[in-house]
Structure 1
Amino acid sequence: MPYPDTGALTGRIPGASGLEPATSPRTAASPSPGLLKRIHQYRYPVRRKLQCCFFWTANAQKNNAPAYVTAASRLLDEHNLELDVCPGVEKTAAHTLPFNALVDISHEEELRNLAHKAHYHEGRIPVIFCRFAGALGGESDTLGYLVRLENWLPFILINVDKTSEDGVTLLHEIGHASDCGHVKSKKGDLYPNFMSYPPPTRTGILRNQVIRLAKSYFARNA
């Protein structure tokens, strides 16, 4: 499915897509107000909530869910979107999965099955906070990733032992689940995109990305 609202406008002002703008310098102090509002300050016409269901593995002692939800909520609210989290940001017994290993890709199906058994969450994207192993943990930069399996809708794994400085990792993976691809940001961008990698601190969501988030399988009217 093609991205909605792509074309010349997408790369016209600093920070739009990580591309050199066609008509304005990247460090322009006053980009066109019309373009700024249409691309960077777009608000979805109907308030939409992105429904998540959080789970934690039994050995997840740390919890970065509160920081990630706070950062995501701040960015989403500017575009008339919000997070709706079940059961909340604190680990509960009902949402604790009986899993004590360090997670690698061989555990993805097992974790998804455990989440399915633990709580009915139709219409919500499962987010599993866990401890990463091997190439996914230790000194690697992997903070979380989207999992796509043949028999399940996409779901997210988050590394509880490491947290991004800007707190945007959860929203970044939610973006992937909404079919948003990576966008390159550079120093000097007005709004470094949430689908880029920091630094700089990610603060922007483009119009086409807002639309994709609002139309994701786990989005509903607020």
Structure 2
Amino acid sequence: QGRPQGLLRISVPMVFGRLHVSPLVPSFLRRYPDIQLDMAMDDRMVDLVEGGYDLAVRIGNLPGNSMVARRIAPCRVVMCASPAYLAEYGAPSHPADLARHNCLCYSYYRGGAYWTFHGPQGEIRVQPRGNYQVNNSEARRDALLAGLGICEMPTFIVGPDLAAGRLLPVLTDYPLPLHAIHAVFPERRRLPAKARAFIDFLDERLGGDAPLWDEGLPPSVLSPQTGKPS
């Protein structure tokens, strides 16, 4: 519980880890030179205790009661497509219109096989169908930018594309469930100093309700979502 030191094993989602955690590692290790960081990037859910991890970054659904969670930042999720795709196929005006679109699917999505929207009359569930499914959302971004289809994406991946107009938001009147980015760790009497140092560092660099990746987003994306938290 004194000076942060020793081996720190963490698990982070692949794309979020590569885009937003990995760039911070050098600064973290310069601040805490007595820590040896072992970071595993994987979109699959891992058991922290069984895997010997000190903490994990989780987005969306949180683990059970054996874990403690600390919220770091919001994670906005936006239905979007490229201007070229929308010019060719039109923009959906209701979630049901997605049945006529090429939906790009994420293999590891833990919310189930459906996309869930929240409209004036309540919840709307749509089963996405399309010709491309992949277990990496940067690959889905590539397909979006190429005009292959339409899908929901977190702004921590496509925020700059939305801000620059390379992708356009659609169905903004039907928000997707609210998400957040959390640091989670096994329930203990005391959190080791090395783990607390990393969580505090993440909060310092990425925390708050206005994360850097949401700068410049269209007002329709930044407007308060009414969807239920997830």
TM-score normalised by length of structure 2: 0.26
Report the structure, 1 or 2, having the larger strand content: 2
Of structures 1 and 2, the larger Rg is shown by 2
